Structure 1
Amino acid sequence: MRRDPRTAGRGGLLAIVACTGIWLIGSGSAEQIAPPQPAAAEARAAQADFGRSLTPLPASAPLRIRIPSIGVDAPLAGLGLRRDGGLEVPPPERRDLAGWYRDGTPPGSVGTAVVAGHVDNAQGRSVFYDLGAVRRGAAVEVTRRDGRTAVFTVHAVEVYDARRFPDARVYGPAPRAELRVITCGGGFSQRTGYKGNVVVFAHLTGTY
């Protein structure tokens, strides 16, 4: 992926997650163990189908993300931008760790928050390996520094070729509290790695 959340719709360049698939290459069995990909039925619906959305929360840094339907319960690290304009990524050796774009919208506040994580590393599956198996209606919970947990409901799961990544669709501004959770996907090549990205779209529907 090659888009900057700060410049979505204005041609910004960003590489959000490393998509080499080094574990699949090393295992020699990419076809059998490639991560799940979203079905066409999970694609984004019309705005009217999104359902209830909660009033956004004040800004507060996120600490942890949970996606119960796929067994994710992971700490979140703040990610900045590299000198080349690409987003930093969590250390690949931390298979349990995801990251959020700390110079953007905190999850739960008005706007589009971005969380990213690896699909695998040299040792095996990483935090978002099963992200493509998420379904519309699933819950995504984000624990925040202010002690509140923001609960998001998934309204779409899509996969994009890296060469045609829709930056405005994914990173564009939102009038409510929205969340994007992103990892690698879109098929796999032994020569070049993953061909694109899986993106989960969700909006705030609860807090506790």
Structure 2
Amino acid sequence: MLYIIYFAIIVLIPIWAQMRVKNTFAKYSRVASLSYRRGAEVAREILNANGLYDVGVEEGHGFLSDHYDPRTKTVRLSPENYHGQSIAAAAVAAHECGHAIQDAQEYAFLRFRHAMVPIANIGSNFSWILIFIGILAHISGMLLLGIIFMAAAVLFQIITLPVEFNASSRAMDQVVSLGLISNNEEREARKVLNAAALTYVAAAAVAVLELLRLVLIFTGMNRDED
């Protein structure tokens, strides 16, 4: 029964977070910003104001596929945010510019996250293979190795949290100081960014819970072997 409750929790938390961000985005994507600037224009103005003339702004593909690519120095906005003149479009565009500013200023957590990418990819790809073999064959050493790999991937998700929250903080500073949204719209813009941040918090929480569960399985396996 406890396992059913546990798995229900780790499934429902991400679903709830995704529904929250989609509903919040849908609501404020229908509310036009008073500046009537498109997301692409908001991004360009923020980048220029921070001297990042070499960072491009491109239209991406897919719903809420917005991201900053540090390899090509490009802010890519989903079609609805690239062309949209809403509060949601302005908030999301500003958030991705926040990552570009972090990159330019060599923000420590962002640098650390970039350095963690290869390790996190290995952890994500191989951890469950080792864990599955370790549990199935009752080999504690194999399970421990899988847990170590998984811990690297979990650490990456945890490091992502300050990166995302800092980008949102920078975004709000930019849109307010540059007059891209009015003071009355600030609350709505924060709601969009906070909802988006929930997806990262939910993912990190689920990853930590799963890691703890595996550690308990490992300690139980060692106890049985003793």
**TM-score w.r.t. length of structure 2:** 0.30
For the pair shown, the structure with the greater C-alpha radius of gyration is 2
Structure having the higher strand fraction is 1
**TM-score w.r.t. length of structure 1:** 0.32
Structure having the higher helix fraction is 2
